[in-house]
Structure 1
Amino acid sequence: MVALSVASSTALAGCAGSSASGPDGSGNRFVGGDGNAQEIKVADRKAAPQAEGTTLEGKPLKLAELRGKVTVVNFWASWCAPCRGEAPSLEQVYKENKAKGVEFVGVGFKDSRDNAKAFERKFKISYPSLFDESGQITLAFRDVPPNAIPSTLILDRQGRVAARIVGATTYSKLGPLVAKVAAEK
């Protein structure tokens, strides 16, 4: 599928809180009180990989098929406490934006299918999640890596990473970022 480096796998070794801080030298800015959300200037955006896989329900899903829509990609695991904490906020932002053409895709990282499905039932997650038991889908994002679980990427309509939130997100952080990217034409 995609050649992957061993160094990338260590970046996703466990749950993280707020691990990113300050400007990264590119002029992109970090937003939010804890500094873990990064907006990426249009000129500096990189294309998301052509990641694909099967959902927890066994249906094929390709991110490339969502091009033309703003897409939120959330990397999570049932064993991750911060992932459980952010799940209601993600679902709320999804419900408020799906009629506006914003898509959400979860990526269940290094988890069992049964535990991941139980997580989605418990938190009433209504958007699809790719099953990434081996971590290969997550590692395909090495050009703009999620860096930790949980992490959330917001892709613009051209399929480029427009924002990244490392660590757990909140409704008040994710909602405005999604709205900003969705307002771009």
Structure 2
Amino acid sequence: MRSDRLWGRGGRRAGRPVAALALVALFALLSGCAGSENAVSDNGEFTFVSPGGRTRLFYSPDERGRVTGLKGESLADADNTIRLSDFSGEVVVLNVWGSWCPPCRAEADDLQAVQDELDDRGVQVLGINVRDNRDAANDFVHNLDVDYPSIYDPSGRAMLALNGFPRSTTPATVVLDREHRVAAIYLTEVTEQGLLPKVRDIANENSGSGGAGNTGDSGDRGGSSSTGGSSPSEEREPGR
């Protein structure tokens, strides 16, 4: 939908009422387009839309799109396939990483801390290892004492389940609620301080109630939670 279409010749005094009506109509059209930043397509599946420079996105329950079909070869065992459906009813923290990525190395202990803290709350961190080789990736996992599983996805094929998600963005973290709907996206390095309160709030959402609403996490880089409406909200966080 184009918002820069011509309004017609309304510069003359006699044309002002027409121009005013056109302005009202334009606002109505723009309001109808607000959902273009929504993470939900018509069929309820997740569809990523460019965030316009934002790096942290938080979706209210009514705008969350579901991720399905995500699967791939296990990094630890080439004969084993890891499927998102293996974690039915759990909050899943998807982390896109590579052994060649310094920020990925910096955030590994933070992700492990989230796993350790919330394991008994039905939270599972799941890595997606991209553009890597298996030996280097396994060395990364062992050297940094990472014990959560990862999908080995050098070609980015498994990432296709995140419809439209930028596979070149590394690191990236996507938090799925218990229905495996996208609740939060971090297109940047995460910290335990920034990630843990948000994941805890998502894990605390009442099953079937549609979400936690306003969380107000002081440690989550800015303090506000997902907002209503059709556009995701963003929270800021100070540097490490």
SS at match of 1:115: helix
- In the alignment, structure 2 segments of 5+ residues that lack a partner are 1-34, 40-53, 207-240
Secondary structure of 1:79's counterpart equals coil
Question: What is the identity, as a one-letter code, of the residue corresponding to 1:124?
Answer: D
More strand by share: 1
Correspondence 1:131 to 2:148: no
| Gap regions ≥5 residues in structure 1 | 1-23, 29-34
SS of alignment partner, residue 149 of structure 1: coil
Match of 1:48 among 40, 46, 67: 67
Runs of 4+ deviating beyond 4 Å: 24-28, 143-147
Displacement of 1:85: 0.9
Task: Give the equivalent residue in structure 2 for 1:71.
Answer: 92
Q: 1:41 to 1:104 in 2, by over 3 A?
A: same
TM-score (norm 2): 0.61
**Matching residue's letter, 1:125:** V
Specify the code of the residue in structure 2 equivalent to 1:157: R
- Does the residue aligned with 1:53 lie in a helix, a strand or coil? strand
Q: Which stretch shifts more, 116-125 or 49-58?
A: 49-58
- Corresponding residue for 2:200? 179
Q: Rg larger in 1 or in 2?
A: 2
1:99 aligns with 2:120: yes
In structure 2, the partner of 1:80 is: 101
Offset at residue 154 of structure 1 (A): 0.6
The separation in 1 between residues aligned to 2:65 and 2:165, in whole angstroms, is: 7
Identical-pair percentage: 33
> Equivalents in 2 of 1:165, 1:135: separation in Å?
18
Aligned to 2:173: 152
The alpha-carbon deviation at position 71 of structure 1 amounts to 0.6
C-alpha distance in structure 2 between counterparts of 1:78 and 1:157, whole Å: 29
Q: Which has the higher contact order (CA 8 A, sep 6+)?
A: 1
Describe the shift of the 1:160–1:26 C-alpha distance in structure 2 as closer, same or farther (beyond 3 A).
Answer: same
CA change 1:53–1:26 in 2 (3 A) is closer
Cα offset for 1:143? 4.3
Structure 1 equivalent of residue 12 of structure 2? none
1:168 equivalenced with 2:181 (yes/no): no
Is this contact kept in 2: 1:55–1:129, CA < 8 A? yes
In 2 relative to 1, CA 27–51 (structure 1 residues): closer, same or farther, beyond 3 Å? Answer: closer
AA matched with 1:127: Y
How many residues are matched?
Answer: 158
Whole-Å separation in 2 of the counterparts to 1:159 and 1:137: 16
Q: Contact 2:114–2:192 (CA<8 Å) still a contact in 1?
A: yes
